Amino acid sequence: MTCVPGKPVVDQAPPSGREMVIIAAGLTVVCLVAAMILGGLYFVTQPAKEHNLHVREETMIRGLLGLTPQARIQEVRRYLKREGKDTQVIYLTGKKLAQLELDGKELAALDVPGDVTAAGSAEAKDEWVKKQIKVADPEHLKYAGRFFVGIEGSQPAGYVVEGVTLGFKTWVRFFMAIDSSYTIQGVEIIEHEEDPGLGAEIVQRYFKNQFAGRSLADIEKISVIKDPLPKDWQTALEQLGDMPFRPWAEKYREMLPKNPNIYAITGSTISSTAVTVGVKAALGNFRKRMNIVEKYL
Amino acid sequence: MSEHRTPPPVSTMLMRGLFEENPIFRLALSLCPAVAVTTSVKNGLMLGVAVLVVQVLSSMSGSLVKHIINPKIRIPVFTLLIAIWVSAMDMILAAYFADIYQQVGLYVKLIVAFAIIISRMELFSMKHSVVPCFWDGLGMGLGFLVGLVLAGAFRELLGSGSIFGIAILPFKPLLLVVLPAGGFFTIGLIMALFNWVDVKRGHKLPSGGGGAHG
Amino acid sequence: MADAKVVSPHEILVEGALPADAASIRLVRSSDADIPLAVISVKPGAKSNSFLLTTAETLNSQDNYQLTAKGVDQPWEIAPSPLALVFSVIIGSALINNFVFTRYLGLCVFFGVSRNKDTAIGMGVTFTIVGLLSGMIAWALNTIALVPLKLEFMQIIAFIGIVACLVQATDLILKKVNPILHKKFGIYLVLITTNCIILAVPLLNATSGATMLQAFGLSLGAGLGFALALFLMSCAIEKVNMAPVPMVFKGLPVAFIIAGLFALSFLGFSGLKVA
């Protein structure tokens, strides 16, 4: 068996007591050294990892919203606090930490210090929130989702909502860009484990760009169909990304009503439907949440 | 045990890993990544480089510590050495190559269980000093890398009509090869090709076909 | 505690005192607890003191929901039963996402020991047991020690240590306790350390932040799936060994082609859903 490293286990004389101590001590030392080397490396790579992730997300958001380089991106994090029957929702925006009843009634609102707003890592923000909100058990306060606001000058220029949906295999995580009238400007798949050649095609422009340009009303009644994707529509879809959303939507304005539904990827109807359902839910929920959170932005 | 043998010439050490003892197609070792990550050249290349680096570093460090460890705990120590290098590799890739890491992350971690690495340490590092170990590790790692890139190129070209994500063909000739099952077919076919080349060169096939049978 | 469960994509069966008016009921998905789901109607159920809720939105029996009502102190927690959860994870990891045919793990050992049925069964049984044990121990270590101490970067080393120790310990214990069994299964024990599935299971559990039940399901499912794959493969290989295979395809190449065919047929499981 070539798979076995080394020789098969042969019966050896059991090591003497002294030898055993030396072996154990030797292994312990090796393990300690290993732990120290890796720990050191961890301290170097962890911040780099977080920084790169942050940069990657920002680039994606800027691309989706077509922001100018001067624009600012503000993350809004949502938490749920559950104690017994009582559930509260907590929003951490750029300015406020708002603690709200489920129907939106304000319980408390704190100003957020600048260093928390500017913190790149999610962990730093979560730590701060946990310090402000008193709970009996840390398990009762949980991060529940987030979205981003693109700020051009001092005006919001659009929103990017993070959504998750159960795909064919595991979770599919996506970003969805929308303007202030809840029209989708683009969808970007961030993480998925769908099959290459099949479900993995959801990352392709000819699929994900089918959501762009659709309003809340369009999305609410959209469905997934198995018809073949028309050639001219595919050509149009491939353009978005090379050109920003607004000129694209202007150029292909009359194409959208002709293609009111989402064309499923051949052989991957489940993945296509999963993304559509996810987008639908994310948009609907975001509209409801926006009514409450808007005044804290 | 600790005496060094005369190492074979550098060219032999390098070429051995590439063809005669190609870890994937001839030795049939560490097949999981060969099938799993080769849906594109980029993935194959990334994992190939990771294995190459881990192989070289493990072989060399194995050779360095062989005098000071008790032979009875040789295997645990070797495993630990590999695990250190793999963990380091894993952290670096996760930090600086996040987008590819997302697709091959699990397999990078699993390099620790690749039989090829520990078997090179056992067969070569135990008997040679650091410098030949470097060449041997490099040869084996390159063999692995070439294997992964070859399979990746084949599958990406036929399955997606592109290489390195750049569209080359205007159509997808054979979607099957990039599907989960396609990896098995591809590796099977390339192994048969290696055998065929061997037959043409007048070699006799080793019994059992594709090299040492696992 | 009153009970409630999802009975169909638009219905929830609730036991207990519920006000029979849809307006005073609040139904939410636990992960989106700030967004109420519309309840269309509340009808008395078949049993006394039970109610059938109809919702506009499609419900998923795998999801968690919470139901509160005015004037009732205790909320109803609607969760899939633990048994159903474990079962769905097992089916998922053994058939839908079979480790050998769709994740391509453990191939070395897979091609090595699938040449006859007896070894395939022996390896399958041994692997399932050891895999389950190591999966659970690794899960416990990860949840109790590594995650709280922020030592996740030691996962690879810790998990491979657990597997190696467990295999050695099982080998020693089995040799002393039941030498006959050891003679039969001992050889497979040694092989297990080089099977990447045994390492992939704890790593997957750790990345997904699995609960104990999910970890149990994945560990068991992975083992069962591997055993199934081995058995199927050994049956096919025994037949192929008697067939005239082109010379260059003899041995591993043809084994790979067969594995590819199995993988294709396993694609058929992917639509499978556990109700």
Last residue of a domain, one of A92, A115, A146: A146
**Shared-domain flag, residues A183 and A107:** no
- Could you tell me the two tokens for B27? 């030795």
**Shared-domain flag, residues A243 and A108:** no
**Shared-domain flag, residues A163 and A141:** no
Q: Which of residues 57-116 of B touch C (CB under 8 A)?
A: 76, 79-80, 83-84, 86-87, 90-91, 106, 109-110, 112-115
pLDDT digits (tens, 9 = 90+) for B110-164: 888 887 888 888 888 888 888 888 988 898 889 889 888 988 888 888 887 888 7
Q: Let me know if residue A228 belongs to a domain.
A: yes
Q: Let me know if residue A10 belongs to a domain.
A: no
Query: Is it the case that residue B208 has pLDDT exceeding 70?
Result: no
Q: What is the mean pLDDT of residues C162-190?
A: 85
A216-225, A248-257, B69-78, B188-197, range with the lowest pLDDT? B69-78
Q: Contact B75/A6, CB-based, under 8 Å? A: yes
* Chain A residues touching residue B180 (CB < 8 angstroms): 195-196
Q: Contact B199/C248, CB-based, under 8 Å? A: yes
Cα separation of C124 and C223, whole Å? 7
Q: What is the mean pLDDT of residues A237-255?
A: 87
3-class secondary structure per residue, chain B: CCCCCCCCCHHHHHHHHHCCCCCCCCCCCCHHHHHHCCCCHHHHHHHHHHHHHHHHHHHHHHHHHCCCCCHHHHHHHHHHHHHHHHHHHHHHHHHHCHHHHHHHHHHHHHHHHCHHHHHHHHHHHCCCCHHHHHHHHHHHHHHHHHHHHHHHHHHHHHHHCEECCEECCCCCCCHHHHCCCHHHHHHHHHHHHHHHHHHHCCCCCCCCECCCCC
Domain count, chain A: 2
How many CB atoms are located within 10 Å of the residue B173 CB? 12
- At C133 the pLDDT is 95
Minimum-distance CB partner of A4 among C31, C66, C194:
C194
Q: What is the mean pLDDT of residues C155-176?
A: 89
How many CB atoms are located within 10 Å of the residue A84 CB? 10
Minimum-distance CB partner of C190 among A9, A78, A288:
A9
pLDDT digits (tens, 9 = 90+) for C198-220: 999 999 999 888 899 999 999 99
Comparing C94 with C15, the larger pLDDT belongs to C94
Minimum-distance CB partner of B181 among C154, C255, C267:
C267
- A285 contact C CB<8A: yes
**Shared-domain flag, residues A100 and A203:** no
Q: Contact C157/A31, CB-based, under 8 Å? A: yes
**Shared-domain flag, residues A293 and A168:** yes
By the 8 A CB rule, do A61 and A177 touch? yes
* Chain B residues touching residue C201 (CB < 8 angstroms): none
Minimum-distance CB partner of B87 among C102, C157, C257:
C157
Chain A residue whose CA is closest to B102: A191
- At C271 the pLDDT is 66
**Shared-domain flag, residues A159 and A293:** yes
Its ipTM equals 0.81
- B35 contact C CB<8A: yes
**Shared-domain flag, residues A158 and A247:** yes
* Chain C residues touching residue B213 (CB < 8 angstroms): 111-112, 251-252
**Shared-domain flag, residues A251 and A282:** yes
* Chain B residues touching residue C102 (CB < 8 angstroms): 180
- On average, the pLDDT of chain C sits at 86
Taking alpha carbons only, the member of B47, B157, B166 closest to residue B102 is B47
Could you state, in order of their start, the residue ranges of all structural domains in chain C? Answer: 4-78, 82-269
Cα separation of C96 and A169, whole Å? 8
Q: List Cα–Cα distances, A150 to A65, A67, A73, A96, C147, in angstroms.
A: 7, 7, 5, 17, 34
pLDDT digits (tens, 9 = 90+) for B56-97: 999 999 888 888 877 777 888 888 899 999 999 999 999 998
* Chain A residues touching residue C32 (CB < 8 angstroms): 144-145, 285
Last residue of a domain, one of A112, A146, A180: A146
Taking one residue from A and the other from C, the number of pairs with CB-CB distance under 8 angstroms is 62
**Shared-domain flag, residues A132 and A220:** no
Is CATH 3.40.50.1000 correct for C4-78?
Answer: no
Chain C residue whose CA is closest to B198: C248
**Shared-domain flag, residues A250 and A175:** yes
Chain B residue whose CA is closest to C198: B113
Last residue of a domain, one of A87, A113, A146: A146
Query: Is it the case that residue A253 has pLDDT exceeding 50?
Result: yes
* Chain B residues touching residue A42 (CB < 8 angstroms): 91
pTM of the model: 0.84
* Chain B residues touching residue C151 (CB < 8 angstroms): none
pLDDT digits (tens, 9 = 90+) for A106-160: 888 888 888 888 777 788 888 888 888 888 888 888 888 899 999 888 888 899 9
Is residue C122 exposed (0-12), middle (13-18) or buried (19+ Cβ within 10 Å)?
Answer: middle
Residue C131's pLDDT band (cuts 50, 70, 90): very high
**Shared-domain flag, residues A167 and A209:** yes
- At C138 the pLDDT is 96
Q: Which of residues 170-199 of A touch C (CB under 8 A)?
A: 170, 195
**Shared-domain flag, residues A161 and A297:** yes
What share of chain C in percent tops pLDDT 70?
A: 97
pLDDT digits (tens, 9 = 90+) for A160-208: 999 998 887 778 999 999 998 899 999 999 988 887 778 888 998 999 9
Comparing B5 with C206, the larger pLDDT belongs to C206
| Domain limits for position A81 | 70-146
Comparing C248 with C143, the larger pLDDT belongs to C143
Cross-strand pairs, C15: C50
* Chain A residues touching residue B179 (CB < 8 angstroms): 195-198
- B72 contact A CB<8A: yes
pLDDT digits (tens, 9 = 90+) for A67-101: 888 888 889 999 998 887 788 899 998 888 999 88
Query: Is it the case that residue C45 has pLDDT exceeding 60?
Result: yes
Q: Contact A197/B213, CB-based, under 8 Å? A: no
